[in-house]
Amino acid sequence: MPLPEAFRDRLTAILPPECFAACWQSFAAEQPTAFRANLLKGPADALGAELSAAGFALTPLAWKADAFVVPAAQRRALTECAAYRQGRIYIQNPSSMVPPLVLAPQVGERILDLGAAPGSKTLQLAELMGNQGSIWAVESVRGRFFRLRDNLARHGAENVQTHLADGTRFWRKHGEQFDRVLLDAPCSSEGRFRADAPKTWRYWSQKKIREASRKQQRLAYAAVQCLKPGGVLVYSTCTFAPEENEAIISRLLRQFASALTIEDIALPFANVASGLRQWRGKAFAAQVQRAKRILPAGGMEGFFVCRLRKTGM
């Protein structure tokens, strides 16, 4: 396995011992292609019938009725089919579909997506809200912002305002304005490493983890400041690094003292572990164990997700 040895050493310390071998092997295994039906453009059952008739070997996700997987060999054909061209499907790893479900936006609410590009979760939020209410999608990188805007338009998300802005400063003008905030934070992307794709891990280093953590701290602080008292924040990443996950949440709990609490979440699949209690001799707040780590299995990438409630200010 050509992945960095330092990454392997860290992973052995992060994962439950009984889970390491399967996780490590997943980086080299051929993965199926997962996608969601875009419910803003039609029902999932009709789309499934259409794709099955076209020869796609669809397997529905057991825990999400509007999502499917096809064999890796059919990925290219999927991206060339009419449903894809027309924005009726969205290719997305199943783990990435989880944070919007945990956020559970309600019709009529004002939602903030603080790191929105390329728009997969923003679009999913719009679907969950039936294109009602208001979603503010923030992206700071100009090229990614325009990709976000194009994606939302092509897929029919009509209740989204896009903002080209620095997410770490967004709270200064928009403090306590949002019922719910999703922060799928930019990260070291360890969950997406592929042994046969060096570009996915070539620039990984522990220095990069520290750099990502510093930005995540600022974004997480801004996310809490943007949230109304009583509101919900979901923080997620696609990395294993505790510095980018449990450490960020533990720091938030210290910064906001009694104004934040972590809520228990129940995920509808078995490949889940609780948040770490400590890392490299540093203890985290006990509540952090309520966060969830999604372990690689069945085509799902490694992910971290935590749901917090703002109880005051």
Annotated active-site positions, please? 238
Q: Which two tokens stand for residue 35?
A: 């996608």
How many residues would you count in the chain? 313
Question: Pairing state of beta strands 160-164 and 134-139?
Answer: parallel
Phi, psi of 240 (to 5 degrees): -90, -20
Q: Which two tokens stand for residue 237?
A: 């990443």
| 3-state secondary structure at position 206 | helix
Beta strands in 159-263 (DSSP E): 160-164, 178-184, 227-237, 260-263
**201 secondary structure, DSSP code:** T
Strands, sheet with 89-91, edge to edge from the N-terminal-most edge strand: 59-61, 64-70, 33-37, 89-91
Q: Of 38, 36, 35, which Cα lies nearest the Cα of 157?
A: 38
| 3-state secondary structure at position 112 | strand
Q: Which two tokens stand for residue 112?
A: 């903030």
Q: What angle do CA 307, 153, 69 make, to 5 degrees?
A: 60
